[in-house]
Amino acid sequence: MDILVSGAGMAGLSAAVNLGARGHRVTIVERSSHFRVNGSPIDVRGDAIEIVDKMGLLPQILAQRVDMTEQGQFVNGDGEVVARLPLEETSDSADDIEIAREDLARILADALPADATVIFQDSVSSLADNGDGVDVRFVSGREAGYDLVVGADGLHSAVRRLAFGPERDYIRHLGFYIAIADLPDEQPRADRVNPVYNYPEHMVSVMRYKDKALGVFLFRSDPIEYDYHDLDAQKQILADAFAGHSEWRIPALIEAARVDPELYFDSAAQIHMPAWHRGRVVLVGDAAHAASGLSGRGTSIAFTGTHILAEELENCAGDHATAFPRYETRQRPYADFAQHSIHGGAELVVPATWEAIHARNERIAAASR
Ligand SMILES: Cc1cc2nc3c(=O)[nH]c(=O)nc-3n(C[C@H](O)[C@H](O)[C@H](O)COP(=O)(O)OP(=O)(O)OC[C@H]3O[C@@H](n4cnc5c(N)ncnc54)[C@H](O)[C@@H]3O)c2cc1C
C-alpha cells in the first residue's frame, strides 16, 4: 500500500521502518526543515526493548546507550548543595536503555527502507477519505492520494485535528510547561552532577550526558494560548515565567534558551481519545496517546504502537477496517499504563511552595544519610 506518515519524530520514523519492512511504500511528511533531534535523552523500556530487537535495531541502540549516572543535586540560590537525589528516584525501571534523542533518531532514519520518501517543510492541510483511499492536500499546494494516512505528528497533531476534531477535545493539561535548551558553552565537570534549583512553582537545572549539556526549565501554569509554530513567542513565555529572578544561574540559562534555534518548549499534557482510527486514518505516538515527559515512556509506547499497527495490517492482509481496531485493542494497555505512571513526578521536581521545597529536600537528605 501507499502510506503517508505525518511527522518524523520517534513515532513517525518507527512507523515508517515497521511499515516499510512489510513491503508498504511510505512517504513521510515533516513540518520542520530537518529531523528534530534535540531534547533530553529518552528511555527505551519494557516491551519496547523486545520490539526494537525485532526491528533489528537493538545492537545499534545498545552501542549508543548513555550512562546517566550523573547525580541530581538540589542547590539553593547560591548554588550550595542542599540534597543529593538517589538514582532510584530518577529511574523507575531497571531494564531501561537511555539514549540521546539525536542518536535514536539517526538509528531510525538509517533504517528507513530505500524506497521511503521524506518530504521536509510541508504539512497536511486537508484529508478526504473517498472510500478507496485518502485524497491529501498539503500546505505547499501539492496533492496526492494514499491508501492510508498515519498521524504521527505529536501532541499538537494536524492529522488529529483534521480527522477527529479540535485539540481541546482531547488534551489534558497537567499544570506545567517544560523547555529544554542546548548549552554549547557549558564546561564538562569531572564530578558528574546535575544541579537543580527550585523556587515555588519553578525549576531550572543543568543536565549533562556524553559531552553535552542542556538547560531544563519547568514552571507551573494554567494553559497558555500561543502559536505552537512561533518559537519567538515561546521564548518570550519562558523568559516572562522566570522574570525577576537572578538567583543561581537563571539569567544566563534563560539567555541560552533565547539564542537556541532549536529550543524545545511545550506543555506537559496528555492526549485521551476514545478511538485512534477513523476510516483510513490512524494515529500513533503522542498524536494518539501522549503521556507527557513525566511518564518517561512516550517513546517506548510509540515503538509498541507502531510495531503493533504494522503487524496487524500484515495479519489482516491489509484490511485496515479490521486491523485498526485490533491495533487499538493491543496498544491501549501500554498507553493507559504510561498515562497512569506520572503521579508524584511534579511534586518532586517542581514543588508549589517553599514549604514543599524544604520538605522534599529534608526527605531526600534524610534518605541519603
Ligand atoms: C524536538 C523535540 C524534543 C523533545 N524532547 C523531549 C524531551 O526532552 N523529553 C521528553 O520527555 N519528550 C521530548 N519530546 C517528546 C518525545 O519525543 C515524544 O513524547 C515521544 O518520542 C513520542 O514521539 P512522537 O513521534 O509521537 O511525537 P514528537 O516527538 O512530538 O514528534 C512529532 C514530529 O512531528 C512533526 N510535526 C508536528 N506537526 C506536524 C505537521 N503538522 N506536519 C508534519 N509534521 C509535523 C514534529 O516536527 C516532530 O518531528 C520531544 C519532542 C520533540 C519534537
Which pLDDT score, from 0 to 100, does residue 93 have?
Answer: 53
Nearest CA to ligand 1 atom 38: 153
**pLDDT in the model for residue 302:** 98
Q: 286 in ligand 1 pocket by Cβ < 6 Å?
A: yes
Residue numbers in the chain where pLDDT is lower than 50: none
For residue 278, what are the CA distances in angstroms to 150, 198, 273, 306, 332?
11, 44, 12, 17, 16
Q: Kindly state if the Cβ of 11 falls inside 6 Å of ligand 1.
A: yes
d(CA 207, CA 324): 39
Could you give the domains of the chain? 2-65+97-170+270-339 (3.50.50.60), 71-95+174-269+345-368 (3.30.9.30)
Strands 42-44 and 97-99: antiparallel
pLDDT at 367: 80
Cα Rg, the chain, nearest whole Å: 21
Grid coordinates of 129: 477519505
Output the CA 9–ligand 1 centroid distance in Å: 5
Q: Give the residue whose CA is nearest to atom 29 of ligand 1.
A: 9
DSSP 266-303: EEEEEE--S-SEETTEEE-THHHH---GGGS-HHHHHH
Residue 40 Cβ contacting ligand 1 at under 6 Å: yes
Q: What tens digit of pLDDT does each residue of 322-346 get?
A: 999 999 999 999 999 999 988 767 7
Specify the pLDDT at position 340: 94
Dist. CA 45–CA 351, nearest whole Å: 27
CA of 285 to the centre of ligand 1 (A): 9
Tell whether ligand 1 has an atom less than 6 A from the beta carbon of residue 212.
Answer: no
Residues composing the chain = 369
Atom of ligand 1 at shortest distance to CA of 157? Answer: 38
Residues 61-106 pLDDT 10s: 999 998 776 678 999 999 999 998 766 665 555 678 999 999 999 9
| C-alpha 154 – ligand 1 centre gap (Å) | 5
Nearest to 159 by CA among 66, 252, 287: 287
Minimum-distance ligand 1 atom for the alpha carbon of 14: 25
Helix pair angle (250-259, 231-241), 10° resolution: 170
Residue 304 beta carbon below 6 angstroms from any ligand 1 atom: no
Q: What's the pLDDT score for residue 94?
A: 61
Q: What is the atom index within ligand 1 of the atom nearest the CA of 290? A: 19
Whether the CB of 301 sits within 6 Å of ligand 1: no
Judge contact between 356 and 347, C-beta under 8 A.
yes
The DSSP call for residue 87 is G
CA 231 to centroid of chain Cα atoms = 17
Q: Which residue's CA is the nearest one to ligand 1's atom 30?
A: 154
Which residue is closest in CA terms to ligand 1's atom 50?
39
Q: Is the CB of 299 under 6 A from ligand 1?
A: yes
Locate cell 533518531: which residue?
105
Q: What is the pLDDT of residue 217?
A: 97
